Amino acid sequence: MEISKKAREAIEDIINRRAKIASMQEQLKEDVKAVAEHLDIKPGKLNKIIGLVEKERQSGEVVEEERDTLDTVESLVGEREE
């Protein structure tokens, strides 16, 4: 396969951008870990919080739906204990 100079440059650009994304993802992971440690929670819990905030900002009503779900769980657990 013959690769033109333009195609080669485009491929190199993609490789460089992928490397930048991987670096940014690693930095985000470290940032989440540091903030979670500061808050004395697990990074997974912080990621869940962040995900819910992002969903709420995008579409709304996510918090209310989660609250309804938790209320249902609480109700079911309460019924079991009785």
Containing domain of residue 71, as a range? Answer: 42-82
Same domain, 55 and 82: yes
Same domain, 35 and 65: no
What's the total number of domains in the chain? 2
Same domain, 3 and 33: yes
Same domain, 29 and 65: no
Q: How far apart are CA 24 and CA 1, in angstroms?
A: 33
Q: How far apart are CA 27 and CA 20, in angstroms?
A: 10
Which residues are within 8 A (CB) of 63 and not within 5 positions of it... i.e. 6 or more apart?
Answer: 52, 56
- pTM listed for this prediction: 0.70
Q: Output the tens digit of pLDDT for each of the chain's 82 residues.
A: 889 999 999 999 999 999 999 999 999 999 999 999 999 999 999 999 999 999 999 988 888 888 999 999 999 998 665 5
Tokens 């333009």 belong to residue: 6
For position 78, what pLDDT does the model report? 83
Which residues are within 8 A (CB) of 32 and not within 5 positions of it... i.e. 6 or more apart?
Answer: 43, 46, 47, 50
